[in-house]
């Protein structure tokens, strides 16, 4: 305790002396080499505001490349558009701390009209569920012009990120890296030479308009939902600049410096928001995967990696090739593939001593693929022999009870896109689903067990409803009715504190070949199985498959993750021990889908098991007096 106090005092002093602020993230006193038993308190100020890429702060960017690095200049891919960002940065300020540090973030919402919230994606918030940043579940949205102080312990080591959990804000720029390091001696895969905070890649798909414009056009008219571009660390190539006299050129991409003869830990954060899984390869190099979602894996050498919205991957690049500049290539799949936008991006792997320039040429979408071992491939599970899916990887974390033979609760969560009269987008008899002759006007509703999530008026963790009568799930709704008609209600699954929960998540795959990545708040789960059964499937088929003993579960060393994809026409089975009491959101991490209700809440334990919200915790709700 004494030691802790000492460290605290000194941090404050350092911060004062060096004037370190959130704007100066590389120099933040908490971004340091981690020492066993030494924790710090780490303060950050987040100011959320509307802003613009290629603003006047950018002066002559990209014609004068130095101007692109000016304070408050967000170059993006050279296209000017409205943004919703923290501290006029995109990605937002990186938080880099050591395991056990206390993180204090004052979030000042300076948006004109919208509420906000910040979710610490990958933090389990044990003991502080009300700091999870999920509006309507764990807190009220932070109203415009007010400040909310997040205060929690960074207990989950690894590569994580923070992002707005309100509306479409993440999509408009509100996300940043959240790296929790552990001491080197505790890294089971600590065989690399360097783990530098500059070797973080935050990858996202990107629009050239506000997301709400894309959203309303897609949901209320014939607009598509396909992102045209990708960005890595907020910048990238898209538009050609220049004039008749000079060679046209692109915005300068992100660059990662390495030195020949050394190996480096890279941290990839997939912060995308549309259905655009991202395939990554490195010219001339393979890489060694060592962790995902903050959990260590038996190393795997591979050539390409596919990641889905909300996932993180840590891998080692060994700089053992000729001194040169190499492309690291990213290309979008599914809604970003060659049928649609061919969204792609590049960054430079720069060896010290190589010329200070980008490799020649501009790789096409087709050229952004390399044959070789692929990890986490799109719509492929254990049945695919050429790739390695998540449950085929091996966790380095000891066996735990969640992998016991028979779980205490088992839930089938089945989903697809359904052609229904979703009253928000298809008002029968005026413009009902089947009344639309132009298929682009048909809005299929993605639902879990035929239910769209209805957010409560007051966050569950604040109202702590005494009875479950206000909740709905597959057991309470009229199944036959909801299969055909649109059902929307507060979808809550209750589980006993300390029980082992198994989720069999099924993508029926009848509409489109789309896949969905699912994220669970408050926990990491073991991914014990994943398989594609065909172009489509059903809960009945998977149940029969399981009853016949064909549904294989890795109950030995299944990887721990908090976000996982489900192959279209297949299933993913996950397990977790429900030992963290609270209300926890489980949802598709594609922004357009969660926004229309593709989520549900786990109620873990009874209300009295849940840590009470601190005194003065803000509340919200209706004001509708009886008379």
Ligand X SMILES: *[C@@H]1O[C@H](CO)[C@@H](O)[C@H](O)[C@H]1NC(C)=O
By CB under 6 A, name the binding residues for ligand X. Answer: 63, 104, 149, 151, 243, 245-246, 284-286, 303, 372-373, 419-421, 428-429, 432-434
Question: Which of the ranges 222-230, 333-341, 365-373, 582-590 carries the binding residues for Cu ion, by CB under 5 A?
Answer: 582-590
- Site for Cu ion contains 593 (CB under 5 A): yes
- From the list ligand X, Cu ion, none, pick the one residue 516 interacts with, judged by a Cβ distance below 5 to 8 Å according to partner type: Cu ion
Q: How far is the CB of 42 from ligand X (least distance, A)?
A: 11
Cis peptide before 415 (omega within 30 of 0): no
- From the list ligand X, Cu ion, none, pick the one residue 104 interacts with, judged by a Cβ distance below 5 to 8 Å according to partner type: ligand X
- From the list Cu ion, ligand X, none, pick the one residue 451 interacts with, judged by a Cβ distance below 5 to 8 Å according to partner type: none
Q: How many alpha carbons fall within 13 Å on the CB side of residue 489? A: 21
Pairwise CA distance, residues 474 & 70, whole Å: 54
- Site for Cu ion contains 34 (CB under 5 A): no
- From the list ligand X, Cu ion, none, pick the one residue 63 interacts with, judged by a Cβ distance below 5 to 8 Å according to partner type: ligand X
- Asked if 584 contacts 520 with a C-beta cutoff of 8 angstroms, the reply is yes
Q: How far is the CB of 371 from ligand X (least distance, A)?
A: 8
Cis peptide before 127 (omega within 30 of 0): no
* CB closer to ligand X, 247 vs 475: 247
- From the list ligand X, Cu ion, none, pick the one residue 588 interacts with, judged by a Cβ distance below 5 to 8 Å according to partner type: Cu ion
* CB closer to ligand X, 151 vs 222: 151
- Site for Cu ion contains 519 (CB under 5 A): no
- From the list Cu ion, ligand X, none, pick the one residue 245 interacts with, judged by a Cβ distance below 5 to 8 Å according to partner type: ligand X
* CB closer to ligand X, 70 vs 409: 70
* CB closer to ligand X, 139 vs 515: 139
β-pair type (409-418, 445-448): antiparallel
Q: How far is the CB of 322 from Cu ion (least distance, A)?
A: 43
Q: Which helix (H) or strand (E) holds 452?
A: strand 452-453
- Asked if 418 contacts 443 with a C-beta cutoff of 8 angstroms, the reply is no
- Site for Cu ion contains 237 (CB under 5 A): no
* CB closer to Cu ion, 329 vs 593: 593
Pairwise CA distance, residues 426 & 552, whole Å: 41
Query: Dihedral of CA 519/522/526/529: which sign?
Result: negative
Q: Which residue lies nearest ligand X, judged by its C-beta?
A: 428
Pairwise CA distance, residues 323 & 352, whole Å: 7
Say whether 418 sits in a helix, a strand or coil. Answer: strand
What is the side-by-side order of every strand in the sheet holding 325-332? 255-258, 344-351, 325-332, 278-282, 304-307, 374-375, 387-388
- From the list Cu ion, ligand X, none, pick the one residue 556 interacts with, judged by a Cβ distance below 5 to 8 Å according to partner type: none
- From the list Cu ion, ligand X, none, pick the one residue 593 interacts with, judged by a Cβ distance below 5 to 8 Å according to partner type: Cu ion
Q: How far is the CB of 593 from Cu ion (least distance, A)?
A: 3
Beta strands in 110-189 (DSSP E): 118-121, 147-153, 158-164, 175-181
* CB closer to ligand X, 131 vs 140: 131
* Residue whose tokens read 């895969």: 189
Q: How far is the CB of 437 from ligand X (least distance, A)?
A: 12
Q: Of 490, 470, 467, which is closest to residue 606 (Cα–Cα)?
A: 467
Beta strands in 478-562 (DSSP E): 488-489, 492-495, 500-507, 516-520, 525-532, 560-561
Kindly tell me which residue out of 43, 160, 214, 516 binds Cu ion, with binding defined by CB under 5 A: 516
* CB closer to ligand X, 44 vs 602: 44
Tokens of 193: 């030479």
Query: Dihedral of CA 183/185/189/193: which sign?
Result: positive
Kindly tell me which residue out of 118, 334, 388, 590 binds Cu ion, with binding defined by CB under 5 A: 590
Chain contacts with Cu ion (rule: CB under 5 A): 516, 588, 590, 593
């Amino acid at each position: 305790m004494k030691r802790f106090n000492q460290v605290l005092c000194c941090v404050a002093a350092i911060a004062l002396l060096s004037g370190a602020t959130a704007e100066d993230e590389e120099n933040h006193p908490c971004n340091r080499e981690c020492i066993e038993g030494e924790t710090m308190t780490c303060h950050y100020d987040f100011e959320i505001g509307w802003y613009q890429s290629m603003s006047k702060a950018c002066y002559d960017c990209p014609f004068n490349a130095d101007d692109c690095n000016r304070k408050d200049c967000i170059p993006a891919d050279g296209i000017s558009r409205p943004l919703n960002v923290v501290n006029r940065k995109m990605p937002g300020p990186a938080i880099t701390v050591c395991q056990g540090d206390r993180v204090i973030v004052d979030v000042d919402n300076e948006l004109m009209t919208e509420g906000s919230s910040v979710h610490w994606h990958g933090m389990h918030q044990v003991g502080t569920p009300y700091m999870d940043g999920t509006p309507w579940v764990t807190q009220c949205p932070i109203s415009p012009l007010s400040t909310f102080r997040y205060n929690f312990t960074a207990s989950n080591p690894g590569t994580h990120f923070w992002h707005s959990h309100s509306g479409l804000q993440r999509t408009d720029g509100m996300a940043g890296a959240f790296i929790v390091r552990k001491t080197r001696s505790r890294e089971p895969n600590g065989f690399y030479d360097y783990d530098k905070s500059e070797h973080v890649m935050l990858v996202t798909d990107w629009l050239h308009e506000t997301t709400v414009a894309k959203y309303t056009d897609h949901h209320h008219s014939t607009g598509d939902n396909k992102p045209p571009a990708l960005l890595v660390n907020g910048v990238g190539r898209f538009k050609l600049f220049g004039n008749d006299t000079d060679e046209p050129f692109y915005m300068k991409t992100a660059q990662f410096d390495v030195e020949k003869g050394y190996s480096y830990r890279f941290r990839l954060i997939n912060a995308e928001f549309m259905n655009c899984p991202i395939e990554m390869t490195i010219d001339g190099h393979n890489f060694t995967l060592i962790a995902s979602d903050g959990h260590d894996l038996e190393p795997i050498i591979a050539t390409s990696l596919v990641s889905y919205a909300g996932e993180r991957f840590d891998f080692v690049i060994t700089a053992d090739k000729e001194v040169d500049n190499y492309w690291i290539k990213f290309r979008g799949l599914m809604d970003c593939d060659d049928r649609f936008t061919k969204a792609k991006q590049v960054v430079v792997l720069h060896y010290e001593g190589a010329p200070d320039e980008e490799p020649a040429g501009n790789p096409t979408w087709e050229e952004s693929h390399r044959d070789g071992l692929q990890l986490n491939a799109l719509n492929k599970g254990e049945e695919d022999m050429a790739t390695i899916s998540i449950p085929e990887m091996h966790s380095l974390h000891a066996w735990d009870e969640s992998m016991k033979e028979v779980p205490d609760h088992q839930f089938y969560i089945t989903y697809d896109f359904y052609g229904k009269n979703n009253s928000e987008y298809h008002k029968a008899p005026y413009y009902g689903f089947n009344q639309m002759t132009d298929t682009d006007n048909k809005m299929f509703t993605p639902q879990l067990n035929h239910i769209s999530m209805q957010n409560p008026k007051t966050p569950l963790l604040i109202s702590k409803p005494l009875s479950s009568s206000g909740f709905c799930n597959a057991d309470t709704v009229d199944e036959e009715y909801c299969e055909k008609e649109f059902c929307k209600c507060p979808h809550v699954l209750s589980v006993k504190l300390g029980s082992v929960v198994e989720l069999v998540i099924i993508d029926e795959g009848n509409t489109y070949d789309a896949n969905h990545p699912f994220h669970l708040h408050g926990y990491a789960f073991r991914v014990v199985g994943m398989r594609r059964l065909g172009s489509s499937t059903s809960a009945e088929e998977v149940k029969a498959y399981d009853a016949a003993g064909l549904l294989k579960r890795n109950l030995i060393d299944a990887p721990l993750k908090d976000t996982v994809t489900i192959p279209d026409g297949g299933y993913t089975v996950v397990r977790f021990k429900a030992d963290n009491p609270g209300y926890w959101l489980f949802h598709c991490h594609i922004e357009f889908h969660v926004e229309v209700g593709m989520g549900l809440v786990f109620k873990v334990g009874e209300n009295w098991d849940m840590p009470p919200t601190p005194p003065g915790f803000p509340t919200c709700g209706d004001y509708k007096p009886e008379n």
